[in-house]
Amino acid sequence: MSPVTVPAPRRALLSVYDKAGIVDLARGLVELGWELVSSGGTATLLADQGIPVVEVAEVTKAPEMLGGRVKTLHPMVHGAILADRFNPDHVHDLRERGITPIDLVVANLYPFSSDPSIELIDVGGLTMVRAAAKNHAHVGVVVDPVDYDGLLAELRANGSLSDATRRRLARAAFAHTAAYDADIVGWFDEEDPSEGDDNPLKPSIYLALDRVQDLRYGENPHQFGARYRTVGSSGWWDTVVVHGGKAMSYLNLLDTEAAWRLVHALGDPGATTQEPTAVVIKHANPCGAAVGTDIAEAYMAAHECDPVSAFGGIVAVNQPVTMPMAEALSEVFTEVVVAPTYEADALAHLQQKANLRVLEAEAPTWPELDVRSIDGGLLVQTADRLVVEPSQWRVVTDREPTSNEWADLVFAWRVAARVNSNTIVLARDRQAVGIGAGQQNRRDAGRIAADKAAGRAAGGVCASDAFFPFRDGLDAVADAGVTAVVQPGGSLRDDEVIAAADEQGMAMVFTGERHFRH
């Protein structure tokens, strides 16, 4: 069916808060013979630039009211946007009321997320955008200045927008309004928490995310993978500088995120200067972590923990990469290295490795929520934020840790909190020497850690992410030669485990908080 003939000329309604590019767009539309309708600051800006524009109030014959809250909410505007040009009754209504159809709506909304308040909850703009998007069979709608150039190019080439373009723009418009509403709901949740409810998880969650990076593939080559970003926010991945290497895959991002978070979690958050620290991650688990006198020493000590697993791993350091570190790193097949910066010669050396992704990044932030997919929805919890307060820990054995043991216990505990459960971490001189990760029982985790330590744990410490349910787990690490243990405590057999530690002359500390990670 062909559309019923409607009066010319083509008309565009321009009403934007973000005025970037709007003058050039308006001028281009006028050159193509379009008539412009606008309101408020947009109309003033266009008139000041000598661009012919009709005020909305001239169309509606109703001046703005309520301090600008009502200006486009009128049948002369929304009838012009919503009319179905294929419907004779709609066209009749337009003619009866003297309404000129609107063929294009260019609008973006008050920036609510920048300064949340009642007055920044857009109503008129939101309504126009939704109306135009609903009627995309006849009306184009643009909410992002990035689309202006493409819009003009298509109009110049074809005289009109294609069905596919209008549909794409309509989808973007509804995504824009959905994200906007999600921001408002989040603001209400922050401003008016449920009385008497200490649960920070809200009754509903509205997620608005944009796909910002296509990945080489997902967890496996037959899967698609992409990185999405919460609308209106950003993270360190958005500012990362990639100095070389292949495109990233899903697992590259997952493991690099784990490495970057861990290397920043190992330091003292209150310290002005962080000690040189390095971690090596494989399959989202640390296979090495260490503090050194310089970054090269820290890296080599981290690699030494488990050189077999480090093959094809991810390396993160918290200090600039030096030439000695770069030379040591280049001898090992590594997927990604991430650091705050690189010395010039070190960067040049690493860029010779064609397959090594070399990333320069800002420090990470910490999410509020941990979200996973399950059948029919999501499993949500507050993020496990590691707060290390040794002064609040409780020594439960006859012997107290020495000062060196205390330093190693804190280090090992930080590492253990970021390893998949069940986990045992053995460390000495703030170097992980054996990590048993992701085991179904704690005894096996201890045995694996001890095997990997290969005698290097003697005189060192052990961290267990959850309590020892039986003494056999403690016996396994005692056989490795550790002299101090940190664990949450809370088992029915705590007394038995403490007694076993006393038998061995070990010091044991309870943190009172476990860190399961699945």
- Give 197-219 pLDDT, tens digit per residue: 677 888 888 888 889 999 999 99
Tokens coding 486: 């940190």
Give the sign of the dihedral formed by CA 119, CA 123, CA 124, CA 130: positive
Closest CA to 288 of 185, 411, 201, 183: 411
Q: Dihedrals φ, ψ of 387, to 5°?
A: -115, 115
Q: Which residues of 216-246 are buried (b: 16+ CB within 10 A; e: fewer)?
A: eeeeeeeeebebebebeeebbbeebeebbbe
Q: Which amino acid is at 211?
A: R
pLDDT of residue 207: 85
Q: What is the mean pLDDT of residues 374-385?
A: 88
pLDDT of residue 433: 97
pLDDT of residue 5: 44
For the chain, report the end-to-end CA distance as a whole number of angstroms: 58
pLDDT digits 0-9 by tens, 231-246: 878 899 999 999 989 9
pLDDT of residue 193: 58
| pLDDT at 459 > cutoff 70 | yes
Strand, helix or coil for residue 320: coil
* Lowest-pLDDT choice from 74-78, 159-163, 434-438: 74-78
| pLDDT at 3 > cutoff 60 | no
Cβ partners under 8 Å of residue 402, min gap 6: 484, 507
Q: 361 versus 381: which is more confidently predicted?
A: 361
* Lowest-pLDDT choice from 78-82, 238-242, 480-484, 487-491: 78-82
Q: Is the distance from CB of 151 to CB of 142 less than 8 angstroms?
A: yes
Q: Is the distance from CB of 380 to CB of 394 less than 8 angstroms?
A: no
pLDDT digits 0-9 by tens, 474-485: 988 999 999 999
Residue 64 burial by CB count (10 A; 0-12/13-18/19+): exposed, middle or buried? middle
- Catalytic positions: 134, 283
Q: How far apart are CA 137 and CA 166, in angstroms?
A: 7
The residue whose two tokens read 């949500």 is 380
pLDDT of residue 418: 93
Q: pLDDT over 90 for what percent of the chain?
A: 62
Query: pLDDT band at residue 9, thresholds of 50, 70 and 90?
Result: low
Q: Considering the entire predicted model, what is its pTM?
A: 0.84
Tokens coding 174: 């509804």
| pLDDT at 22 > cutoff 60 | yes
Query: pLDDT band at residue 312, thresholds of 50, 70 and 90?
Result: very high
Residue 200 burial by CB count (10 A; 0-12/13-18/19+): exposed, middle or buried? exposed
Closest CA to 418 of 286, 309, 315, 310: 286
Q: How far apart are CA 480 and CA 168, in angstroms?
A: 62
Q: Could you give all domains of the chain from N- to C-terminal order, each with its CATH number?
A: 11-183 (3.40.50.1380), 241-360 (3.40.140.20), 393-510 (3.40.140.20)
Q: 137: how many CB neighbours lie within 10 A of its CB?
A: 13
Collect contacts of 96-100 with beta carbons under 8 A, ≥24 apart.
Answer: 99/75, 100/7, 100/11, 100/35, 100/59
Q: What is the mean pLDDT of residues 119-125?
A: 77
pLDDT of residue 4: 46
The 8-class DSSP code of residue 83 comes to -
